[in-house]
Amino acid sequence: MTAGLAPGLASVLDLASVLVALDFDGTLAPITPHPEDARPLAGVHQVLRDVRATGAALAVVTGRSVSSLLRVSGFGAIPGIVIYGTHGAERWQAGSLRTAAAPPGLGELRERLPGLVAGIVRDRDVWVEDKSLSLVVHARLTAQPERVLDRLREPVEEAAAAAGLGVRPGREVLEICLPGIDKGTAVRELLGEDRAAVLYAGDDVGDLDAMAEVNAWAERVGRPGLTVAVGAAGGPVAGVADVTVPDPEGLLDLLRRLLGVAWPAWPSGLGSWR
């Protein structure tokens, strides 16, 4: 039993583990103009290994495909890590990949989308990324990303709906994705009912689903759920999380400080950050 914790929580600690689930781009890695150039901040690998060494379950929940995440992050070398890719449509652990089924319309839209986009916005800096289970229209390299996306939003949404797909907004992107799967469904699967506590950190609108799931779980089971927004005031997740840190460096500092709270006192450490 652990001194200083409520009896209910202390008994939970004997049965269950803390979950630490983290977004990647903008959370563990600075945002780069091109996704392939992103790399984890120096020190991230060691902190993730230290998180695992406490006995916590560790997951990265990213909008990237699993293969892209593994390529740019090197996280495949971290023992026990679970990776949810393409906003939860893929799950990877220890070399084994599970993939959601795509609707038949995805293949046709893959062929059609670049022409559709080019017919609306004549800008070479708008490009379509094929993530296999999703298609992403990128406007980050243009002079006015939001204006470009405003013009594209309705026609892209119509084309996606006709193909049985949804559209998810992101940071200077529109992402065509599988309906009914998001970072919230990934976090729900990771949490189950027997976790002692959870920490989730992210920086973008896609992370809001995960944070909502953490809050719903914490409310339902009465255990600590801590959400961390990464980014300056005015960003996509500002004001919705329990804690806000300015950048990936700030998140690393927070994780290091939480790691200073010896397991199994982690959950109470999380609670003290609220």
Q: How far is the CB of 15 from Mg ion (least distance, A)?
A: 32
CA dist., res. 158 & res. 154, Å (int): 6
Count of CB atoms within 10 A of residue 257's CB? 11
Q: How far is the CB of 188 from Mg ion (least distance, A)?
A: 19
Q: How far is the CB of 170 from Mg ion (least distance, A)?
A: 8
Residues contacting residue 150 through CB under 8 Å, at least 6 positions apart = none
Which residue type is seen at 84?
Answer: Y
Nearer to Mg ion, 203 or 242 (CB): 203
Nearer to Mg ion, 159 or 198 (CB): 198
Q: How far is the CB of 63 from Mg ion (least distance, A)?
A: 7
CA angle, corner 211, sides to 252 and 180, nearest 5? 125
Q: Shortest Cβ contact with Mg ion: which residue?
A: 26
Which residue type is seen at 167?
Answer: V
Nearer to Mg ion, 26 or 35 (CB): 26
CA dist., res. 50 & res. 164, Å (int): 42
Q: How far is the CB of 62 from Mg ion (least distance, A)?
A: 7
Q: How far is the CB of 195 from Mg ion (least distance, A)?
A: 23
Nearer to Mg ion, 64 or 223 (CB): 64
Binding residues for Mg ion, rule: CB under 5 A, are: 23, 25-26, 203-204
Nearer to Mg ion, 9 or 186 (CB): 186
User: Which tokens is 32 given?
Assistant: 């780069």
Residue 156 parent element (H or E): helix 145-162
CA angle, corner 203, sides to 200 and 208, nearest 5? 65
Nearer to Mg ion, 9 or 20 (CB): 20
The DSSP output letter for 265 is S
CA dist., res. 156 & res. 172, Å (int): 14
